[in-house]
């Protein structure tokens, strides 16, 4: 059991100040964290959250916020909400070796974004040809700020339509 496993809950905590529903920034099928083929992500090194086996090819902002990081050599983006929540979205496991090739970044660092803003697009077929597992990982980076993370229960998730999880502060 990892230190922050206690943050993932079935229901909202008895007391909390604020809650933030996190819409799925990608489309696909939810997968269990133990199915992610990367031990560091499974162990929560980049926070706690959910993983999605991708069916689409775009990443959207799940809430209003600011782009904190979007590396030119990576398939990832980090957003900060007005409440200070830091969300990390990573596309593909093993994309580091691709040096950002065929990943189109649609925003820049410090850009203000609204919910639903396209953040990046990628070529899912090409990723498969590069033997990259088409998985999207969505985690909360600043776990000390939250009381609980409650995953949604539906198996399928449509980008910007279905909740992926709810964070309680």
Q: What is the CATH number of the domain that holds 110?
A: 2.70.70.10
Tally of domains in the chain = 1
Domain residues for the domain of 136 are 3-168
pLDDT in tens, the chain (169 residues): 333 445 677 888 899 998 999 999 999 999 876 777 777 666 666 678 888 999 999 999 999 999 999 999 889 999 999 999 999 999 988 788 899 999 999 999 999 999 999 999 999 999 999 999 899 999 899 888 889 989 898 899 999 999 999 999 8
Q: How far apart are CA 86 and CA 69, in angstroms?
A: 10
Predicted TM-score (pTM) of this structure:
0.89
């Amino acid at each position: 059991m990892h230190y922050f496993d206690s943050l993932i809950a079935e229901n909202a905590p008895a007391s909390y100040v604020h809650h933030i529903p996190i819409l799925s920034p990608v489309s696909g099928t939810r997968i269990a964290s133990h199915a992610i083929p990367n031990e560091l992500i499974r162990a929560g090194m980049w926070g706690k959250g959910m993983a999605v086996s991708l069916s689409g090819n775009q990443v959207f902002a799940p809430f209003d916020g600011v782009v904190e990081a979007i590396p030119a050599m990576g398939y990832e983006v980090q957003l900060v909400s007005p409440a200070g929540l830091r969300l990390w979205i990573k596309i593909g496991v093993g994309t580091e070796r691709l040096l950002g090739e065929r990943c189109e970044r649609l925003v820049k660092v410090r850009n203000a974004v609204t919910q639903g803003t396209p953040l990046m697009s990628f070529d899912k077929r090409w990723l498969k040809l590069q033997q990259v597992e088409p998985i999207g990982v969505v985690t909360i980076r600043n776990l000390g700020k939250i009381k609980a993370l409650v995953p949604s229960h539906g198996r399928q998730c449509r980008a910007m339509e279905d909740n992926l999880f709810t964070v309680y502060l």
